[in-house]
Amino acid sequence: MSRLFVSRLRGFWAWAIVLLVLACSLALAAQYKAAQKVQVKWHENWWPATIQEVAGAKYKIHYTGWGNEWDETVGPDRIRDPLAIKYTKDQKVQVEWKGKWYASTILEVGTGDKAGKYKIHYDGWGNEWDEWAGSERIN
């Protein structure tokens, strides 16, 4: 092969990689929208939050149940869609209730009009506290 051909081939692959990285970044940036309920990773735990603003590949978020002083801007690597998370019967989880997290167990996985919801039992509490919770409150 000629040197010119090899040089052009290298240039082609360099541009192909740049375009691939750019396309992936744009796909991630468009993944979430303002006002969307999400979970944000903070110190190895996932916390419910709402996206307030989208600026390219960065998201200004507000943590549910916390003051505005905890708001921050994060990248897509720290965000997940709680509706995409699936839990299973008998799985041990943490459930948020009035701003606090409680050890709980999934009793039932919702179907039909309860799809995306889970019947949970708060460990150590009576059955009268069992309730249906959406995945945005489950960690």
Does this model's pTM top 0.85? My answer is: no
State pLDDT tens for residues 26-84. 555 458 899 998 889 988 788 889 999 999 889 999 998 889 999 999 999 999 887 77
CATH number for the domain formed by residue range(s) 37-83: 2.30.30.140
The strand order across the sheet containing 131-134 reads 92-97, 100-109, 117-122, 131-134
CATH number for the domain formed by residue range(s) 85-137: 2.30.30.140
